Amino acid sequence: MSIITKKIAEELNIRESQVESTIKLIDDGNTIPFIARYRKEVTGNLSDEILRTLDERLKYLRNLEARKEEIIRLIDEQGKLTDELTLKIASTTVLSELEDIYRPFRPKKRTKATIAKEKGLEPLSQIIYLQKEKRNIYEIADEYINEEKGVATREEAINGALDIIAENISDDSDYRKKIKSMNFREAVITTKQAKEEKSPYEMYYDYKEGILRLPSHRILAINRGEKEEFLKVKLESPDEKILEYLEKQIILDNKSQFAELLSTAISDSYKRLIAPGIEREIRNNLTEKAEEQAIKVFGKNAKQLLMQPPIKDITVMGFDPAYRTGCKIAVIDKTGKVLATTTVYPTEPQNDVEGAKKALKDLINKYDVNMISIGNGTASRESEAFVSDMLKEMDKDIYYAIVSEAGASVYSASKLATEEYPDINVSLRGAISIARRLQDPLSELVKIDPKSIGVGQYQHDVNQKRLSESITGVVEDAVNSVGVDVNTATPSLLSYVSGINGTIAKNIVKYRDENGEIKQRKDLLKVPKLGPTAYKQCAGFIRIFNGENPLEITAVHPESYDVAKKLLTKLGYSVENILEKEKLEEIKKALKEVNVEKMATELNVGALTLKDIIEEISKPGRDPRESMPKPVLRSDVLKFEDLQDGMVLTGTVRNVIDFGAFVDIGVKYDGLVHISEMSEKFVRNPSEIVSVGDVVKVKVINIDSERHKVSLSMKLDR
């Protein structure tokens, strides 16, 4: 354990004591959100991001240690374990290098070398490899001629010996490590056109780049182009340098009788056995790193999307645009309840603009609709133009917002949507989802497979198990940082709360359906399968509004209720006072004057925990999403044809990728702000500058009317 602790501490640049304490918490069954929020004193205030990285590295390194033990046992069983080998295995920190060490001892299929060994040629291979024998090697080879074993000539004996040497060279872990290192420094990826056809991969039809400089998005694009058979991809290695390196390591005297034979064995070993495997390994390694970067970018974007601020207390009309099948409409009240659904046909081919306007105006007036949420898919801009014209004809102030409809169709046809809306046609469920995404993005987006929520790049190409694990963590962190109203939350939302799985989430909903609103957190202990352990993990993230304990609209954990009460008593207030507007203002002022360190000692609680309690009491029921940028609300439409160079617009960042960000500027196609146009200063990563959901000012710098592409700049003063 101490080796793992030390390694993680070095990698994350934190103290070993922090790692040790965190590992104990993880091993005791605590979730990352719980540890991050309620065990700050124990971890030394490690963030949820660092804790998740620590957890991942812990799993990897424990797996590595288990594999080391297994390999030592397997080699020992062969009677080939030495102290030097044991030390080499123990000091290895990468799984692939460990497997290279085990390679010579791994049971092999029949190879040229194993056949040569069966013919009794291993001693001859040793004579050639050690290069000490003074006698003529061909005369020595005559001693190994054995027609019964299939060795008819001295040449056959020598060739068999060289096959054994070639395999031994290819199995040497030190050689493989050095060759990989040389490749990573100097190898070049080349791509060529594989078929005479236009494709999104035309820039790679005759392309080469050193793998050291190859960015992750390019690696994944090349992989996809190869998979779709548009590209032929090859790794050009520094072959001459590698062969020169191997000869220097193996050949003792270039003028000896063994030099030419060994040079032949080295060349065969490299070209036949080492190079193909190394190319696969390097490409796999590049892909893994690119996938990790893509998953990281996707996770960051997804979290920003999930943390978009809700637009509360409004009645929303969801507008799911389409052409032939009509635009699906759903009116949702401020609690998310479906009030009405319909289908209108303002777009081609029907073009029933007047009929659609009448139907929607009637719904707007009947249900006092405040906002229209328009999906950004097919026919979105035509629908936006229609909505904009309609709103000009109305007396009341109504705005619309364009929301991402990614995943809405997936959700519409899902088992979950069928359970939620058994009596509503599948085609109308998308409009409900689009409306709710404006009201409460988090609650709605957790119902959708994270891969389908439309942010990131190449998420369908990466390791799906790894993506799923990472995104589950991102969603958990978002849900738990906001908190969940236990009396209104869907099972989908509840299942991401720390300590609550899918079964318990359904049991909570069933319990409240049968027993009415849950009035206090401890009532959760009556829910089937939600025992003391799960309760401890989830309680602080559960919110109960209009309940029996005012602290339960905050993130104060039940284990800290006494501390919170004592703190308020010392200030001359009660817990109930935090719900009274005037008293709360007084409490806030009093809390600002508190000496946290001194008070923590008096209340026998950690200073970090007390600081969190003070923050929660100061803003009871606070939603952390309120500080995020609000959606851009529009009342008029901008056409692609209206765009002009130099025009400055306000837009919403829809996606952040390695080379820039896509911004919705209110026309049919999102514009691209290339990384070079984000700042006058050098930008290493676009996510340093913008996040999904950010509202930004951009200048139009290039319009490609033919391909409907818009280039934007955030450098407005140039």
Least confident of 200-209, 291-300, 351-360, 639-648: 639-648
Report the amino acid identity of residue 125: S
* Residue 23 domain-assigned (yes or no): yes
Does residue 498 lie in a domain region?
Answer: no
284 and 349 in a common domain = no
CATH of the domain at 26: 1.10.10.650
DSSP letter assigned to residue 310: P
| Residues contacting 673, CB < 8 A, separation 6+ | 660, 661, 662, 663, 690, 696, 698, 712, 713, 714
CATH number of the domain at 660, please.
2.40.50.140
Q: Tell me what pLDDT residue 504 has.
A: 96
389/419 same-domain check:
yes
Arithmetic mean of pLDDT, 364-387: 88
Note down the domain range covering 87. 2-105
Closest CA to 384 of 336, 340, 347: 347
Q: Averaged over 456-480, what is the pLDDT?
A: 80
Residue 178 and residue 283 share a domain: yes
The domain boundary residue, chosen from 379, 410, 439: 439
Q: Do 592 and 694 lie in a common domain?
A: no
Query: 511-548, pLDDT tens digit by residue?
Result: 998 999 999 999 999 999 999 999 999 999 999 998 99
Q: Is 367 exposed, middle or buried (0-12, 13-18, 19+ CB in 10 A)?
A: middle
Give the pLDDT mean for 265-285.
Answer: 94
Choose one of 627, 649, 669: the last residue of a domain: 627
pLDDT tens digits along 422-467: 888 888 998 999 999 888 888 888 888 777 776 666 667 777 788 8
Q: Burial letters for 236-247: b for 16+ Cβ neighbours within 10 Å, e otherwise?
A: ebbeeebbebbe
Q: Can you give the CATH number for the domain in which 593 is found?
A: 1.10.150.310
Identify whether 384 is part of a domain.
yes
Q: What percent of the chain has pLDDT over 90?
A: 57
Is 111 among the domain residues? no
> Are 518 and 425 in the same domain?
no
State residue 671 phi and psi, 5-degree precision. Answer: -90, 155
447: in domain: no
620 and 658 both lie in a single domain = no
Supply 598's token pair. 């001194």
Final residue of a structural domain among 389, 412, 439:
439
User: Is residue 495 in a domain?
Assistant: no
pLDDT at 503 (0 to 100)? 95
Cβ atoms of 55 and 66 within 8 Å: the answer is no
pLDDT tens figures, 100-127: 999 999 888 889 999 999 999 999 999 9
The answer to the question of residue 202 being in a domain is yes
155 in the same domain as 79: no
User: Mean pLDDT in the chain?
Assistant: 89
- Does residue 583 sit in the same domain as residue 608? yes
On whether both 184 and 241 belong to a single domain, the answer is: yes
Residues 152 and 284 placed together within one structural domain of the fold: yes
Alpha carbons 672 and 661: distance in angstroms, whole number: 6
CATH number, domain containing residue 190: 1.10.3500.10
Indicate the angle between helix axes 122-130 and 154-171, nearest 10 degrees. 70
Closest CA to 477 of 691, 610, 300: 300
CATH number of 425's domain: 3.30.420.140
Of 173, 180, 181, 178, give the one whose Cα is nearest residue 100: 173
For the chain, what percentages of helix, strand and coil (3-state, to nearest 5) are there? Answer: 55, 10, 35
Note whether residue 492 is domain-resident.
no
Q: How many domains does the chain have?
A: 5
Residues 6+ apart with CB under 8 A from 354: none
SS3 for 618? helix
Which range among 286-295, 340-349, 425-434, 630-639 shows the weakest confidence by mean pLDDT?
A: 630-639
**Of 593, 712, 590, 703, which is closest to residue 661 (Cα–Cα)?**
712
Which letter does DSSP use for residue 235 in this model?
E
Q: Is residue 292 domain-shared with residue 425, that is, in the same domain?
A: no
Q: Are residues 138 and 20 in the same domain?
A: no
Spatial CA neighbour of 38 closest among 611, 604, 618: 611
Structure tokens at 508: 């909570």
